[in-house]
Amino acid sequence: MSNINGKVYAMNAITPMKPWKTWILRGFFVLLGHIKPLQQDLINLSFIEFARWVVLPRKQFPFLGNGQSEEELKYDYLLFFSNFNGTWNQYIDAFSAVLSKGLNLVWRWSEKFPGSVPVTSFKEYIARVQFDTDYYYTAYPHAAANDLKSAHIVQASFDKLAASAQNYTPEQFEDAYLRFVLEVQTHLGETGEAPIVF
């Protein structure tokens, strides 16, 4: 599937909105951008590498000229882009369970949005409005977001050990090394292909 690159899945969804609803959603996005606690649930879902909603007004829809006829669109469009680790089902389940209120505030303005709960109708809706990703770049396709966070923790602890090691006696180094291993043991993971889930 073109949406998967190593452990990373890219998702794009495009939903139509009546133009008068666009202004309400834009107002919500301004609030969301300025009131940081409203973002916390999304930030806490650590398997999400990136998530962004963009409103594309019908009058600003790309027009390339050169023989392309200009369209008279009735709807504005809400574009959603995300990269995450895990399966599509896990992602939608987590979104529905953890972010249902926020998702309803964002997508309720889109046509025929059924709500994020129950999850079955939400999944059917997302499947209808999702488009395959033909190409996307992932700096570390075989490492999940949590793998990268853990790598930073291990590197910082190792740098601290290396900086003090030259001043230690062998016995002190043994103690410091043991503390280092205990500190980083839960952050030693394995990169590679994501497990296949059917």
In DSSP notation, 28-49 reads HHHHHHH-GGGGHHHHH-TTEE
Q: What confidence tens digit (pLDDT) does each residue in 86-116 have?
A: 788 888 898 888 888 888 889 999 999 999 9
Quote the pTM value: 0.72
- Residue pair 113/21 in contact (Cβ under 8 Å)? The answer is no
Q: Which ranges in 76-167 belong to alpha helices (H)? A: 88-98, 100-107, 119-129, 145-165
Q: What confidence tens digit (pLDDT) does each residue in 165-176 have?
A: 999 999 999 999
Q: How far is CA 152 from CA 42, 103, 174, in A?
A: 21, 31, 23
Instruction: Give the pLDDT score at 65.
Output: 77
In this model, does residue 198 exceed pLDDT 70?
no
